[in-house]
């Protein structure tokens, strides 16, 4: 069931699940037979950032063949790859889920969730209402240009590694090593844990 937003907002994720996704999982497969683990990074630096991230978590949970298992603390992050002060700061978090969707269908759903929140792709490193990235999918490694696994820059991004480490200190990034080791090798400058904010794990 889709969860309501705060008063005055309509839920933009109330839309048909793409037909290809439905075909992959035979509609709502609540048993999740033989699921795989996946790690998703979410971020927003436009609009109501916390509400948007919560909406993304809820939309992932509402996807047939997906069950959200853990949601990280929220981090506030300086924008990546742009001049300091040229964009609002991001709220970032990591979601760990189990899914029967293959990586290609999970990517399709990630893009659909972004579009539901009016994501615009006009410029590289541009501001965005919502960014949904697949960081890792089980132990899969792939050089497919449409979906490189694991994410090709995850190992150098503290705003991915820190929240992931918070919810799974033993996590490993396939082909790169432990998240703890990777996190110790990158700077945490420009990211701050927002302990005053919280994303709800879907019921």
From 62, 128, 157, 168, the catalytic residue: 128
From 11, 29, 131, 166, the catalytic residue: 131
Residue 131 appears among annotated catalytic residues = yes
Residue 58 appears among annotated catalytic residues = no
Buried/exposed 131-161: b ≥16 CB within 10 Å, e otherwise:
bbbbbbbeebeeeeeebebbbeebbebbbbb
From 58, 62, 133, 168, the catalytic residue: 133
From 3, 67, 119, 194, the catalytic residue: 119
- CA gap 102, 24 in Å, rounded: 8
Pairing of strands 66-71, 172-173: unpaired
Catalytically active residues are 119, 128, 131, 133
């Amino acid at each position: 069931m889709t969860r309501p937003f705060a008063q005055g907002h309509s839920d933009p994720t109330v839309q048909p699940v793409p037909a290809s996704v439905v075909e992959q999982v035979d509609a709502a497969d609540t048993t999740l037979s033989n699921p795989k683990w996946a790690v998703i990074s979410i971020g927003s630096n436009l609009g109501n950032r916390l509400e948007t991230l919560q909406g993304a978590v809820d939309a992932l949970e509402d996807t047939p063949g997906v069950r959200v298992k853990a949601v990280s603390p929220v981090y506030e992050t300086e924008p990546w790859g742009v001049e300091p002060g040229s964009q609002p700061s991001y709220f970032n978090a990591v979601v760990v889920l189990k899914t029967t969707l293959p990586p290609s269908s999970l990517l399709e759903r990630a893009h659909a969730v972004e579009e539901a929140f009016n994501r615009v792709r006009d410029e590289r490193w541009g501001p965005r209402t919502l960014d949904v990235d697949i960081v890792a999918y089980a132990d899969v490694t792939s050089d497919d240009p449409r979906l490189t696994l694991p994410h090709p820059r995850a190992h150098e991004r503290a705003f991915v590694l820190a929240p992931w480490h918070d919810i799974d200190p033993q996590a490993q990034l396939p082909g790169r090593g432990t998240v703890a080791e990777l996190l110790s090798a990158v700077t945490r400058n420009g990211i701050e844990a927002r302990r005053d904010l919280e994303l709800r794990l879907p019921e």
